[in-house]
Amino acid sequence: MTALNVESKNKGTMNEQQQTVTNAQWGERCSVKLDKLLSRVDRIIGMLFHLKGTFTVEDAALYLGITPSHLYKLVRKYDIPHSRPTNGRIFFSKEDLDKWIKSRMLIEPETGLLNESKQPHECYY
């Protein structure tokens, strides 16, 4: 091999390495931007919950921080306020859910004292 061939071959390898580094940096930047974007979307969704007055099962489960299947169990037991206006889909009032959450608290928010009349939630894992 001549010196010219070796030199051009090394340049090709160097360009490939630079391209790999550039691709890796681009991937990292995209990942960071995607994380920021997802964080903003989560914040917007949280804000929208405060504007909604009525939730579907999926929305209510997300609002309460439980799974939809757990929410269906609570509905079947009539443990949570809900409505079925057309005898089909289940709906929840945000106001009723907020009251339900407060009624299930072991510590009263106003006084900070333990409410001994309340039982802790059962956990379904």
Mean pLDDT along residues 49-66: 88
The helix (H) or strand (E) run that includes residue 55 is strand 54-55
Check pLDDT > 50 for residue 80: yes
CA distance 27 to 31: 6
**125 vs 93, more confident:** 93
Q: Per-residue pLDDT tens for 26-46?
A: 788 888 888 898 888 888 877
